[in-house]
Structure 1
Amino acid sequence: MEKVRSFWDIIDTRDDTALPDVKVDPDDDFCVMYTSGSSGHPKGVVLTHRSAVSAIQSWLFSIQVSNLMGWAPNPPIDDDGNAYQPCTMITTPFFHISATHAGFLLALWIGMKAVILSKWEPARAVELIDREQVSRFACVPTMSAELLEAAARMGSTLRSLRTIDSGGAKRPASQVAEIAARVPHAMPGTGFGMTETGGPGIGMRGEPYLQNPEAAGRLQPPLMEMRIVDDEDNEVSVGEVGELLLKSVTNLRCYLDEPQATSEALRDGWLYTGDLARVDEEGVITIVDRKKDMIIRGGENISCSEVSAALHLHPNVIEGLVFSIPDDRLGENVGACVYLSANCTTTEEELKDFLVPHLASFKIPKKIWLRDAPLPRGATEKVDRLAVRAEYLG
Structure 2
Amino acid sequence: MTNLALCLADAARADGDRIAVRQDETALSYGLLDDASARVAALLHTIGVRPGDRVALAVPNVVHFPISYYGILRAGAVVVPLNPLLKAREFAYAFRDCGATAVLTHPQAADEVCTAAAETGTECLVSDSGALDTLLRATDPMAEVVARSAHDTAVILYTSGTTGTPKGAELTHHNLLTNAATTAASILRLGPDDVLLGALPLFHAFGQTCALNAAVAAGATLTLIPRFAPQRALEIMSRDRVTVFLGVPTMYTSLLRSGLPDHHGFSRLRLAVSGGAALPDEVLHAAERSFGVPVLEGYGLSETSPVAAFNHPDRPRKPGAIGHPVRGVEMRLLAPDGTAVGPGGIGEIAIRGENVMKGYWNRPEATAEAMHDGWFRTGDLARVDEDGYYFVVDRKKDLIIRGGYNVYPREIEELLYTHPAVAEAAVIGVPDELHGEEVAAAITLRPDAHITASELRDYLKQRLAAYKYPRIITFTDSLPKSATGKILKREIVIP
In structure 2, which of residues 300, 309, 322 is the aligned counterpart of residue 202 of structure 1? Answer: 309
Q: Does the alignment pair 1:233 with 2:338? A: yes
| Unpaired segments ≥5 residues, structure 2 | 1-129, 402-406, 410-427, 435-460, 480-495
Map Cα deviations across residues 338-370 of structure 1 (whole Å, 9 max, x no partner). 5469xxxxxxxxxxxxxxxxxxxxxxxxxxxxx
In structure 2, which of residues 320, 323, 330 is the aligned counterpart of residue 214 of structure 1? Answer: 320
2:355 alignment counterpart: 250
Q: SS where residue 292 of structure 1 aligns?
A: coil
2:470 alignment counterpart: 387
Map Cα deviations across residues 151-184 of structure 1 (whole Å, 9 max, x no partner). 5379984433211211111100101111222222
Q: Is the 1:190–1:204 Cα contact (8 Å) retained in structure 2?
A: yes
2: CA distance, partners of 1:245 / 1:127: 41
1 or 2 for the larger relative contact order (CA 8 Å, sep ≥6)? 1
In structure 2, which of residues 215, 226, 229 is the aligned counterpart of residue 118 of structure 1? Answer: 226
Q: SS where residue 152 of structure 1 aligns?
A: coil
1:358 alignment counterpart: none
Q: Does the alignment pair 1:152 with 2:257? A: no
Letter in 2 for 1:32: I
In structure 2, which of residues 277, 286, 290 is the aligned counterpart of residue 169 of structure 1? Answer: 277
| Cα distance change of structure 1 residues 39 and 167 upon mapping to structure 2, 3 Å threshold | farther
1: CA distance, partners of 2:132 / 2:182: 44
> Alpha-carbon deviation of 1:217?
0.8
1:367 alignment counterpart: none
Q: Is the 2:271–2:294 Cα contact (8 Å) retained in structure 1?
A: yes
1:345 alignment counterpart: none
| Cα distance change of structure 1 residues 118 and 340 upon mapping to structure 2, 3 Å threshold | closer
> Alpha-carbon deviation of 1:241?
0.3
2: CA distance, partners of 1:39 / 1:94: 25
2: CA distance, partners of 1:153 / 1:391: 40
| Cα distance change of structure 1 residues 175 and 157 upon mapping to structure 2, 3 Å threshold | farther
| Cα distance change of structure 1 residues 3 and 55 upon mapping to structure 2, 3 Å threshold | closer
| Cα distance change of structure 1 residues 91 and 41 upon mapping to structure 2, 3 Å threshold | farther
TM-score after normalising by structure 2: 0.52
TM-score after normalising by structure 1: 0.65
1: CA distance, partners of 2:184 / 2:241: 22
| Cα distance change of structure 1 residues 244 and 40 upon mapping to structure 2, 3 Å threshold | same
Superposition RMSD in Å: 3.8
Q: SS where residue 350 of structure 2 aligns?
A: strand
Letter in 2 for 1:107: A
> Alpha-carbon deviation of 1:62?
1.9
Q: Does the alignment pair 1:130 with 2:238? A: yes
Letter in 2 for 1:28: D
Map Cα deviations across residues 240-298 of structure 1 (whole Å, 9 max, x no partner). 0000000012211111122221111111110000000111110000011111359xxxx
Letter in 1 for 2:380: D
| Cα distance change of structure 1 residues 206 and 145 upon mapping to structure 2, 3 Å threshold | farther
2: CA distance, partners of 1:380 / 1:188: 29
1:348 alignment counterpart: none
1:259 alignment counterpart: 364
| Unpaired segments ≥5 residues, structure 1 | 67-71, 76-83, 295-303, 306-320, 324-334, 342-375
Within 5 A, what are the aligned runs for 1:177-196?
177-184=285-292, 186-196=293-303
| Cα distance change of structure 1 residues 237 and 5 upon mapping to structure 2, 3 Å threshold | closer
1: CA distance, partners of 2:243 / 2:215: 12
Identity, in percent, stands at 27
Map Cα deviations across residues 299-327 of structure 1 (whole Å, 9 max, x no partner). xxxxx99xxxxxxxxxxxxxxx9x9xxxx
